C-alpha cells in the first residue's frame, strides 16, 4: 500500500463553531430542533443559535438534571432537543435522567458533552471527562459518537437530528486536526477505514485519529503496514468491520482520549475476546484522573501520542508472532 | 347522581380496584396509592380533558405521576375510565404485565410519562408544558408528587425553571401524606411545601386531600392562573381508605392478604353507607 504521508493541519474553525453551523442548518430544515443550555452557551458555542432562533433556545441555568428531564418532556410533545453541557456534567450529572426520562421512556433527546477528555485542558481534572463513554455505554439503546473533525460534525448533526432516539455526542470545543475533505460521507455505526495494511489494525476515535495516522506513517517507515480505522461511533460498534480487520491483521491497538476502562478500548476488547481473540493493547488514559495543563502537555503526560501507539503496535505484533 | 356523588363513587372504585390489584400481586405501595385516590377521582371523574379511546390525543391534558411507585392507583383509574380492560388490573407486577409497579409510558395506555426515580417527574411535566406552549396549545399538565419526593434537589431545579418560564398551565399536586418510606417526613427532612413553593414564586393553596369538591375548586382556580405555575398541597393521610393500612406505622409498602383486602373493601362500603367515606374514624 502506498499513500501520501499524513500532514497534520488544523481545521479552519473551532469545532464548536462548525457544530453550531450544523445545528442552525438542522434547525432551518426542521422546526422541531431546539437548544437547551445549562449556562455554558458561551463555552460550547451555541450563542449564534440563540440569536437565530430565540424562541427555540432555552438557557435553563445550572441545573443539568432538570434540563435533561425537561428535554425528555419537550421531546414528548414532538420537539428534538439538543441539551448542552460539559461532558463531565452531561454524563455524570444527568446519568439517571438520561436513563429514565430519556432512554427508558423511549424519547428523543440529543445530548452534547463538550470539552471531551484532555481538551478540557486548563479546566483541569474536575472538568476532564475520561469516563463519560464508560458511564453511558451500558445504558440501553444510547448511541455514542465522537466526531473526528468539522467535516464529520457537519455530516453527523443532520443525521442525529433526524433519527429518533437518545444520542450522546462528545466533542472538543477548539479546532482539531483536519482529517476529512468537505463532502465526505459518513454512516453512523460504520467505522471509516483511513489506511489499509496487513500487519496491525489501529482503531482510534476523536483526537487520537490523527495520532493514529501519524503512527501509521512512523510504522510504515519501519516496514510495518498498519490499517487505521476511525471508530467515531462508539456505540453501536462497527462489529463486522472490527472483527474483519482483526482477523486480517491478527492484532489490534485501540487509541482513545478516555480512560481505557469503559470506552472504545473496552468495547473493542469485549467484542474481540468473544469473536476474534487476537493480541490487543489499549492506548488511552490509564485509569488516572485528569489534571490542568495545555492539551499538548496532557497528551504527552497521559501517553496519548503517536509514539505510544507505535510502541503498543510493536508489542501486539510481537505477541502475534509468538 | 350529583357530580360530587359520582366522584365519591369513583374514588371508592379506584380504592377498591387498587386494593384488589395489590392483593392479587400480594404486596404493594398501598399507603401512597390510597392517599391520592380522591384527587385521581376528581381528575378522571370529568376534570381532565381526555379521550380514553385515544390515549395519545394531542389536545389532552397530560398527567405525570412523579411518584411512579403509585402506578397501581393510576392504573385503577385508567381501567375504570376504559383505557384498557379491567382484568388487566389482575396482572399488576406479574411477569410480562403491561402494568408494572412503576409507571411506564411504553407499556400502559394512558400513562404519559415513565417515572420511578423520584424527582424527575416535575421536570418532565415542565418540559411537556413548555413544549405545548411553544406549539400554541393550552393543554394543562398535571404532576403528582409525594411530600417525601420533595427532598429531591431536582424538584427545586424544576420549581425554579417552571416559574422562570411562566409555565402557568403546569399544575403540581403534592400528596402531603406526611410520610415517606422510612417514616415521617418531618423526622427525615421536613418543612412546609406550601411555603417553599411560594418562595419559588408559585401560586400555592392548601386543601383537604379527600374533599373532592374543594380539590376540584382549587384545580379550576389553578387553571385560571396566568403567569406562574400552581401547586396544590393536598393534606392527606397515608393509607386512608384501606383499613388494614390506616393504623400501620409502616404502611408505605405492605403485604396484602385476601382477608385484608376483603375486609378493607367491606369497610369502604360501610363508610359509604354511613356517609363517613373515605376517612371513617381515621381523622
Ligand atoms: C430517587 C429515588 N430514591 C429512592 C426511591 C425509593 N422510594 C420509593 S418510594 C419512596 C418514598 C416516597 O415518599 P413520598 O414521596 O412521600 O411518597 P408517598 O408517601 O406518597 O408514597 C422511596 C424513598 C426512589 N423510587 N427514587
Closest CA to B21 of B106, B84, B113: B84
Q: What are the structural domains of chain B?
A: 3-274 (3.40.50.970)
List helix spans (H) across A77-207. Answer: 87-92, 95-97, 132-137, 150-162
Indicate the domain borders of chain A. Answer: 15-171, 192-321
Owner of C-alpha cell 401512597: B32
Q: Are B256 and B263 in contact (CB under 8 A)?
A: no
Residue of chain A with shortest Cα separation from B119: A66
Q: Measured from the CB, is residue B178 less than 6 Å from ligand 1?
A: no
Task: Please give the Cα distance from A248 to A271 (Å, whole number).
Answer: 16
What was the pLDDT predicted at A1? 47
Which phi and psi angles does A285 have, rounded to 5°? -80, 125
What was the pLDDT predicted at A113? 98
* Chain A contact for B129 (CB, 8 A cutoff): yes
What is the whole-number distance in angstroms between the Cα of residue B11 and the centre of ligand 1?
23
**Which residues of chain B have a pLDDT value below 50?**
none
Closest CA to A67 of A39, A108, A106: A39
Determine, for residues A77 and B132 on separate chains, whether the beta-carbon distance falls below 8 Å: yes
Cell of A155: 455530516
Q: Pick the catalytic residue from A55, A64, A222, A274.
A: A64
Q: Do domains A15-171 and A192-321 have the same CATH topology?
A: yes
Say how many residues make up chain B.
283
DSSP-derived 3-state class of residue B217: helix
What is the whole-number distance in angstroms between the Cα of residue B37 and the centre of ligand 1?
17
Q: Are A112 and A84 in contact (CB under 8 A)?
A: yes
**Which residues of chain A have a pLDDT value below 50?**
1
Pick the CATH number of A192-321 from 3.40.1080.10, 3.20.20.150, 1.20.1740.10, 3.40.50.920: 3.40.50.920
Task: Give the H or E element holding residue A259.
Answer: strand A252-259
Q: Measured from the CB, is residue B176 less than 6 Å from ligand 1?
A: no
Owner of C-alpha cell 475520561: A130
Q: Are A247 and A320 in contact (CB under 8 A)?
A: no
pLDDT digits (tens, 9 = 90+) for A36-86: 999 999 999 999 999 999 999 999 999 999 999 999 999 999 999 999 999
Q: What sign has the CA pseudo-torsion B231, B232, B233, B238?
A: negative
Closest CA to B255 of B71, B20, B27: B27
Torsion of CA B70, B72, B78, B82, to 10 degrees: 180
pLDDT digits (tens, 9 = 90+) for B38-66: 999 999 999 999 999 999 999 999 999 99
Cell of A167: 444520542
Supply the ipTM of this predicted assembly: 0.97
Q: Measured from the CB, is residue B193 less than 6 Å from ligand 1?
A: no
What was the pLDDT predicted at B4? 85
Instruction: Judge whether A146 counts as a catalytic residue.
Output: no
Cell of A115: 470539552
Determine, for residues A65 and B157 on separate chains, whether the beta-carbon distance falls below 8 Å: yes
What was the pLDDT predicted at B252? 97
Architecture of domain A15-171: 3-Layer(aba) Sandwich (3.40)
- A111 forms bridges with which residues in the sheet? A83, A168
What was the pLDDT predicted at A135? 98
Amino acid at each position: 500500500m502506498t499513500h501520501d504521508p499524513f500532514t497534520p493541519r488544523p481545521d479552519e474553525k473551532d469545532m464548536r463553531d462548525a457544530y453550531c453551523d450544523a445545528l442552525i442548518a438542522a434547525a432551518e430544515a426542521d422546526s422541531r430542533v431546539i437548544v437547551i443550555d445549562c449556562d455554558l452557551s458561551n463555552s460550547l458555542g451555541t450563542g449564534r443559535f440563540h440569536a437565530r432562533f430565540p424562541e427555540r433556545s432555552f438557557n435553563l441555568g445550572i441545573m443539568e438534571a432538570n434540563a435533561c428531564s425537561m428535554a425528555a418532556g419537550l421531546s414528548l410533545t414532538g420537539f428534538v432537543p439538543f441539551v448542552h453541557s460539559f461532558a463531565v456534567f452531561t454524563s455524570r450529572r444527568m446519568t439517571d435522567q438520561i436513563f429514565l426520562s430519556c432512554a427508558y421512556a423511549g424519547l428523543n433527546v440529543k445530548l452534547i458533552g463538550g470539552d471531551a477528555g484532555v481538551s478540557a485542558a486548563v479546566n483541569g481534572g474536575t472538568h476532564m471527562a475520561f469516563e463519560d463513554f464508560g458511564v453511558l455505554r451500558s445504558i440501553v439503546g444510547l448511541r455514542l459518537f465522537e466526531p473526528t473533525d468539522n467535516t464529520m460534525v457537519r455530516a453527523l448533526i443532520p443525521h442525529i437530528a433526524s433519527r429518533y432516539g437518545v444520542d450522546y455526542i462528545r466533542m472538543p470545543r477548539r479546532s482539531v486536526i483536519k482529517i476529512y475533505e468537505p463532502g465526505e460521507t459518513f454512516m453512523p455505526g460504520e467505522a471509516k477505514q483511513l489506511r489499509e495494511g496487513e500487519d496491525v489494525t489501529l482503531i482510534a476515535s476523536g483526537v487520537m485519529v490523527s495520532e493514529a495516522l501519524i503512527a501509521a506513517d512512523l510504522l510504515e517507515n519501519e516496514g510495518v503496514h498498519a490499517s487505521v480505522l476511525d471508530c467515531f461511533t462508539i456505540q453501536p460498534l462497527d462489529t463486522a468491520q472490527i472483527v474483519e480487520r482483526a482477523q486480517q491483521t491478527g492484532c489490534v491497538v485501540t487509541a482513545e482520549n478516555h480512560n481505557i476502562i469503559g470506552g472504545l478500548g473496552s468495547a473493542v476488547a469485549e467484542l474481540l475476546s468473544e469473536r476474534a481473540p487476537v493480541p490487543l493493547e489499549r492506548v488511552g488514559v490509564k485509569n488516572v484522573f485528569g489534571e490542568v495543563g495545555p492539551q499538548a502537555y496532557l497528551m504527552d503526560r497521559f501517553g496519548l501520542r503517536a509514539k505510544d501507539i507505535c510502541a503498543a503496535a510493536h508489542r501486539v505484533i510481537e505477541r502475534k508472532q509468538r | 347522581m350529583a357530580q360530587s356523588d359520582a366522584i365519591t363513587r369513583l374514588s371508592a372504585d379506584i380504592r377498591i380496584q387498587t386494593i384488589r390489584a395489590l392483593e392479587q400481586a400480594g404486596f404493594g405501595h398501598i399507603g401512597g396509592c390510597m392517599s391520592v385516590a380522591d384527587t385521581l377521582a376528581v381528575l378522571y371523574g370529568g376534570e381532565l380533558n381526555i379521550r380514553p379511546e385515544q390515549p395519545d390525543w394531542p389536545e389532552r391534558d397530560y398527567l405525570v405521576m412523579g411518584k411512579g411507585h403509585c402506578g397501581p392507583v393510576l392504573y385503577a383509574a385508567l381501567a375504570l375510565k376504559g383505557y384498557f380492560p379491567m382484568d388487566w388490573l389482575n396482572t399488576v407486577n406479574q411477569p410480562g404485565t403491561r402494568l408494572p409497579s412503576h409507571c411506564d409510558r411504553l407499556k400502559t395506555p394512558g400513562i404519559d410519562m415513565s417515572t420511578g426515580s423520584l424527582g424527575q417527574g416535575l421536570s418532565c411535566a415542565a418540559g411537556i408544558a413548555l413544549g405545548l406552549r411553544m406549539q400554541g396549545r393550552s393543554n394543562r399538565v398535571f404532576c403528582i408528587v409525594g411530600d417525601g419526593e420533595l427532598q429531591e434537589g431536582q424538584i427545586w431545579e424544576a420549581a425554579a425553571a417552571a416559574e422562570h418560564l411562566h409555565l402557568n398551565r403546569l399544575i403540581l399536586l403534592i400528596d402531603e401524606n406526611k410520610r415517606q418510606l422510612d417514616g415521617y417526613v418531618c423526622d427525615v427532612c421536613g418543612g412546609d411545601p406550601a411555603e417553599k413553593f411560594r418562595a419559588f414564586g408559585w401560586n400555592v393553596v392548601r386543601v383537604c386531600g379527600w374533599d373532592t369538591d374543594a380539590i376540584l375548586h382549587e384545580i379550576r382556580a389553578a387553571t385560571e392562573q396566568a403567569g406562574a405555575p400552581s401547586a396544590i398541597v393536598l393534606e392527606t393521610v397515608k393509607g386512608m381508605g384501606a383499613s388494614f393500612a390506616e393504623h400501620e406505622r409502616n404502611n408505605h409498602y405492605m403485604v396484602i392478604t385476601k382477608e385484608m383486602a376483603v375486609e378493607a373493601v367491606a369497610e369502604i362500603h360501610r363508610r359509604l353507607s354511613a356517609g363517613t367515606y373515605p376517612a371513617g374514624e381515621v381523622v
